[in-house]
């Protein structure tokens, strides 16, 4: 396992991370360092175990999997978004 991911290289870089991935990579805590053009996409609240420095943090948009709902609208943010699909 490791403690730090450094995204600050050539060009804009990104990483998408969730709690299971964070635990598999680093155990209980992970730091991701980046530049102002780098993006860290997070799924759910990882604030207790993830520290991001320099990079921009954005939330992953996840479908609620409610098959009875006719509303399958996903609203993103200005800029770059990430959509994670579920099973099925």
Going by pLDDT thresholds of 50, 70 and 90, the confidence category of residue 21 is confident
Write the DSSP symbol of residue 44. Answer: S
Going by pLDDT thresholds of 50, 70 and 90, the confidence category of residue 87 is low
Among 2-11, 34-43, 62-71, the range scoring the smallest mean pLDDT is 62-71
> What pLDDT does 2 receive?
80
Question: Angle at Cα 78 formed by Cα 77 and Cα 80, nearest 5°?
Answer: 85
> What pLDDT does 75 receive?
67
> What pLDDT does 60 receive?
76
For residue 46, is pLDDT > 80? Answer: yes
Which residues, listed in sequence order, are joined to residue 50 by a DSSP beta bridge?
A: 30
């Amino acid at each position: 396992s490791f403690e730090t991911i450094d995204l600050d290289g050539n060009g804009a870089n990104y990483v998408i991370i969730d709690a299971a991935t964070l635990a598999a990579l680093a155990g209980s805590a992970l730091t991701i360092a980046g530049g102002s053009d780098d993006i860290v996409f997070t799924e759910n609240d990882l604030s207790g175990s993830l520290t991001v420095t320099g990079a921009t943090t954005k939330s992953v948009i996840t479908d609620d999997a409610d098959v009875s709902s006719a509303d399958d609208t996903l609203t993103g943010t200005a800029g770059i978004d990430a959509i994670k699909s579920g099973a099925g």
